[in-house]
């Protein structure tokens, strides 16, 4: 198992999808619940990861609303 925290693992996974173009600018991310299931973590871990991804400028959106990859218009 990785020595990274679950939050760091989720951030890395989402960052890889964005940087590789799997999730291009403007792409709507899965819901928090879907992301939690995909990564096998709690919604709290997803919330923490989203805060960091927003701060890094990789995603945009508000708490409780849809989240999109930054850089595209919706």
Q: Where exactly are the structural domains of the chain?
A: 6-69
pTM of the model: 0.87
Q: Please count the other Cβ atoms lying within 10 Å of the Cβ belonging to residue 25.
A: 13
Report yes or no: 32 and 68 within 8 Å, Cβ to Cβ: no
**Topology of domain 6-69, CATH:** Arc Repressor Mutant, subunit A (1.10.10)
Q: How confident is the model at residue 72 (pLDDT cuts 50, 70, 90)?
A: low
CA distance 63 to 2: 29
Query: Is residue 74's pLDDT more than 60?
Result: no
Per residue in 3-24, pLDDT (tens digit) is: 899 999 999 999 999 999 999 9
Tokens 């959106």 sit at which residue?
A: 61
């Amino acid at each position: 198992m990785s020595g990274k925290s679950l939050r760091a693992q989720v951030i890395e996974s989402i960052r890889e999808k964005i940087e590789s173009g799997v999730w291009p600018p403007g792409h709507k991310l899965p819901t928090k619940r879907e992301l939690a299931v995909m990564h096998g973590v709690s919604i709290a871990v997803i919330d923490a990861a989203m805060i960091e991804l927003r701060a890094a400028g990789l995603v945009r959106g508000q708490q409780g609303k849809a989240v999109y990859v930054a850089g595209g218009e919706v």
